[in-house]
Amino acid sequence: MLLRIPAKIPLSITIIVLFFILFFLQNQILSYRGLPPKLVIKPGEFAILVALGGLRGVAADLLYLKADEFWQQGKWKEMLSLYRAITILQPRYVDYWSLAGFHLAWSLPFTAKTAEEKQKYIQQGIDFFKEGISYNPDVYKLYFDLAFIYDHKFSQYDEAIKWYKKAAEFPDHIPYIDRAVAHCLRKKGDFKGAYEEWQRLKKLYPEDKDYQEIVALNLKIVEEELKKSGKRQ
Amino acid sequence: MFLKVWALANNTFKEGIRRRILYVFLIASVAIILSSHFFNFLAPSEELKITLDMGLASILFFGALIAIFSCGELIPREIERQTIATILSKPVKRSEFLLGKFLGGVLLVFLNFLLMSVVFLFLVYFKEKFISLNLIKALILTFWELVVLSSIAICLSTLSSTPAFNVTVTFSIYVVGHLTDYLIHIARQTENLFVSLFILIIYTILPNFNNFNLRDKVVEGFFIPNLEVVKVSLYGLVYAVIMLGLSHFFFKDKEF
């Protein structure tokens, strides 16, 4: 006697198997995307993200327009709180981090009344860039922005070199970053290191005349400084 | 079998294009896509980003509304008008009926999606004199997202014959599906194995609409591998098949 299997059983088994395939595919897709940004946000902000669904890009654009308006009116604090919201909405859009960090580290210190306040803004800019890097570790721009602050605002050249070098690891980085490392070495007084760095850079773009001119000029400056420091010693 | 399915799909499509609400969505979408051009003067440095963001978001949002409203009401309307009994009294299997309805709905969604995409691509070409392959890939995956949403709408409509319920629940799933991604964090942070397993099951069962989201990558100019597009499309296909399987499961013994 043949056992009659209810028609729904094979269908149920097929659906379960398909869910396993779906789980496998989901893991495959995650390998391309990486884990989603781990957002440290308040419940209210999370509710906004839920409500927006797939329209976060548009919301970020509209807030950006408003932030731009605040910038033109000189309403810095209002502008920055909007940038905070914008980076929550689109944490993977590097330009927003870059622009907001720039305003914190470069624009706001001009409005500061005391040196302490000025330093506070610059430090906030640094923290902002570091947060941006945690969401976008695969883009050179924010490493460069961070190094630039350490270089020109704090004169902390070791820290600047560290971040410039990280930015230089990306193949699409701008050539200036290579030169910035050499400049920092010279500024911190390591003329020998700077000389070796410029020698290394000389070999990078042999056919670029402008580039070679810049390198030659800097090599000459560093050579002279090396001689002077040698005489002093 | 194919002929029967095609006849049903064709009929569903023809019925669907007569519905005025879909034209409203289509016109609203085209208007928003075109209006993105006028936002540009407000932020000259972000011109292309705004056009891409607004265009892709409008196609997705209005495409989703079209999918939800057209597919969520297909079966309840047949039940309400009692035409379902006439169709099923003929030599048409229930699975063929479901498949025909689904394909008709998808065809309707595709037509609207195509019209919106053409307007959008025309606008991008008008501004940039160039259309990137990334943009086409993003549009392909947006369409797959709409297919998945259509299949969910069909599945829900086999459970409930109230169109308002179907539309509301499908729209809720559409919103929640954009946040499924974050469940993986919760699953990894939870120390309790059973809770973690439970969250992983929910994570797999719920559609992950972020998989189809290449919009941010397009705007940010990241490289999108072809294999990624293939795998996400496959994810969409498997999810739609599961939803159709579940629809058949619920619809098989339903009495009218």
* pLDDT tens-place string over residues B124-154: 998 888 888 999 999 999 999 999 999 999 9
A134 to chain B, minimum CA–CA distance in Å?
Answer: 16
Cβ neighbourhood burial of A131 (10 Å; 0-12, 13-18, 19+): middle
**Residue B198 in contact with partner chain A when CB distance is under 8 A:** no
Residue A53 domain flag: yes
Mean pLDDT in chain B?
87
> In terms of domains, do A105 and A84 share one?
no
**A25-42 pLDDT per residue, tens:** 988 888 887 665 555 555
Residue A210 domain flag: yes
Residue B202 domain flag: no
A122 to chain B, minimum CA–CA distance in Å?
Answer: 25
Q: What's the pLDDT score for residue A142?
A: 94
Domain count, chain B: 1
pLDDT at A46 over 60: no
Q: A53–B234: do the CB atoms touch at under 8 Å?
A: no
Tell me how far apart the alpha carbons of residues B107 and B91 are, in angstroms, rounded to a whole number. 24
Residue B231 domain flag: yes
Tell me how far apart the alpha carbons of residues B43 and A60 are, in angstroms, rounded to a whole number. 13
State which amino acid sits at residue B225.
Answer: P
Domain count, chain A: 3
> In terms of domains, do A157 and A181 share one?
no
Q: A60–B234: do the CB atoms touch at under 8 Å?
A: no
The residues, ordered by sequence, that sit 6+ positions from B197 with a Cβ below 8 Å of its Cβ are none
Residue B102 domain flag: yes
Give the domain extent around A80: 42-90
Give the number of other Cβ atoms within 10 Å of residue B10's Cβ: 14
> In terms of domains, do A118 and A160 share one?
yes
**Residue B146 in contact with partner chain A when CB distance is under 8 A:** no
Question: Could you tell me the pTM of the whole model?
Answer: 0.74
pLDDT at A186 over 60: yes
A64 to chain B: closest CA residue: B43
pLDDT at B28 over 60: yes
**Residue B182 in contact with partner chain A when CB distance is under 8 A:** yes
The residue with tokens 């495959």 is A28
Q: What's the pLDDT score for residue B142?
A: 94
Residue A77 domain flag: yes
Tell me how far apart the alpha carbons of residues A163 and A168 are, in angstroms, rounded to a whole number. 9
Give the number of other Cβ atoms within 10 Å of residue A151's Cβ: 21
- Tell me which of A9, A27, A29, A99 to substitute to probe the interface with B (most B C-beta atoms closer than 10 Å): A29
| ipTM of the modeled complex | 0.79
Residue B204 domain flag: no
Q: What's the pLDDT score for residue A229?
A: 76
**Residue A50 in contact with partner chain B when CB distance is under 8 A:** yes
What residue spans of chain B are helical by DSSP H?
Answer: 2-16, 20-39, 47-71, 74-80, 83-89, 94-128, 133-159, 163-176, 183-189, 193-205, 215-220, 226-251
**Residue B220 in contact with partner chain A when CB distance is under 8 A:** yes
Cβ neighbourhood burial of A109 (10 Å; 0-12, 13-18, 19+): middle
Residue A113 domain flag: yes
CATH of the domain at A149: 1.25.40
**Residue B14 in contact with partner chain A when CB distance is under 8 A:** no
Q: What's the pLDDT score for residue A175?
A: 83
Residues of A numbered 51-90 whose beta carbons fall under 8 angstroms of chain B's beta carbons: which are they? 51, 53-55, 57-58, 60-61, 64-65, 68, 90
> In terms of domains, do A106 and A159 share one?
yes
Task: Give me the mean pLDDT over the A180-189 stretch.
Answer: 90
Cβ contacts (< 8 Å) between A19 and chain B: which residues?
A: 204-205, 242
Tell me how far apart the alpha carbons of residues B222 and B214 are, in angstroms, rounded to a whole number. 10
Of B179, B185, B246, the CB nearest to A49: B179
Give the domain extent around B140: 2-178+213-251
> In terms of domains, do A141 and A192 share one?
no
Residue A8 domain flag: no
A207 to chain B, minimum CA–CA distance in Å?
Answer: 29
Cβ neighbourhood burial of B101 (10 Å; 0-12, 13-18, 19+): buried
Residue B110 domain flag: yes
Of A8, A22, A38, the CB nearest to B242: A22
B231 to chain A, minimum CA–CA distance in Å?
Answer: 7
Cβ neighbourhood burial of B94 (10 Å; 0-12, 13-18, 19+): middle
Residue A182 domain flag: yes
In terms of average pLDDT, the best of A73-87, B70-84, B201-215 is B201-215
**Residue B171 in contact with partner chain A when CB distance is under 8 A:** no
Alpha carbon distances (Å) from B14 to A106, B76, B105, B108: 61, 17, 10, 9
Of B43, B200, B213, the CB nearest to A54: B213
Residue B197 domain flag: no
A4-8, A11-15, A159-163: range with lowest mean pLDDT:
A4-8
B33 to chain A: closest CA residue: A58
pLDDT at B37 over 80: no
Q: B57–A11: do the CB atoms touch at under 8 Å?
A: no
